[in-house]
């Protein structure tokens, strides 16, 4: 199952600018991410403000189709205002699936091939880790990773303790790290995880996509 993390405030992008609805290559970042996830997930749920994303859920407007997938619902953070860890926690609490792909809405270079690669690593019969996460020269990439539902407990404990850094919660559970060399051998680069936080990032991403 896939969860698209779209609950950020986009504060670094500028006044009244929501990253999820920024145009990138003729699509909003939100629609692009839903399409990419829809190629590998049977169901994609948005984690964010239910009112803002109401038309993408099934409760009021009907489900929207992305590839072979449907975006059936929108779920809100249980721990509001606590960052991406709260989004991951809410996703896992609501999920009926054992393996759950998390993707931030602001990562325009993530491909369906990369997501399929992560899922395959998580599904490997020898992998008993709670989290399967890539790590590049810039560190862990927890917003493009696969989580088992059991991580919800560790996430909740961290949130209740006021510890909102995702990586810090990794120390309490088994983690399968996909190192940069393994990513490169599979044809993926650090650029895949580039995220758009500022207007400068947006311009850099547009240049890279040309």
pLDDT band at 63 (very low <50, low <70, confident <90, very high): very low
CB count within 10 Å of CB 86 equals: 23
pLDDT band at 208 (very low <50, low <70, confident <90, very high): confident
pLDDT digits over 9-39, tens only?
655 655 567 889 999 888 999 999 999 999 9
pLDDT band at 61 (very low <50, low <70, confident <90, very high): very low
What is the mean pLDDT of the segment spanning 71-82?
87
pLDDT digits over 104-149, tens only?
999 999 999 999 999 999 999 999 999 999 999 999 999 999 999 9
Alpha-carbon separation of residue 13 from 28, 187, 199, 203 (angstroms): 15, 30, 6, 12
Q: Which domains occur in the chain, in start order? A: 2-209 (3.90.550.10)
Note the pTM of the prediction, 2 decimals. Answer: 0.89
pLDDT at site 57: 61
Calpha distance 5→106 (Å, rounded): 9
């Amino acid at each position: 199952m896939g969860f698209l993390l779209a609950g950020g405030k986009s504060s670094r992008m500028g006044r009244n600018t929501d990253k999820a609805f920024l145009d990138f290559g003729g699509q909003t970042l939100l629609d692009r991410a839903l399409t990419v996830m829809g190629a590998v997930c049977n169901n994609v749920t948005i984690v964010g403000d239910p009112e803002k994303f109401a038309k993408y859920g099934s409760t009021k407007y009907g489900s929207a189709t992305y590839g072979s997938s449907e975006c059936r619902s929108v779920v809100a953070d249980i721990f509001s205002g606590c960052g991406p860890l709260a989004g991951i926690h809410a996703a896992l609490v609501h999920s009926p699936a054992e393996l759950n792909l998390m993707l931030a809405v602001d990562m325009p270079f993530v491909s369906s091939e990369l997501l399929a690669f992560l899922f395959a690593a998580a599904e490997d019969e020898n992998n008993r880790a709670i989290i399967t996460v890539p790590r590049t020269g810039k560190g862990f990439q927890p917003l493009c990773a696969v989580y088992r539902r059991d991580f919800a407990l560790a996430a909740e404990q961290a949130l209740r303790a006021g510890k909102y850094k995702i990586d810090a919660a990794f120390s309490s559970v088994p983690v399968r790290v996909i190192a940069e060399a393994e990513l490169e051998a599979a044809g993926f680069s650090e650029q895949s995880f580039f995220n758009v936080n500022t207007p400068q990032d947006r311009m850099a991403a547009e240049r890279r996509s040309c």
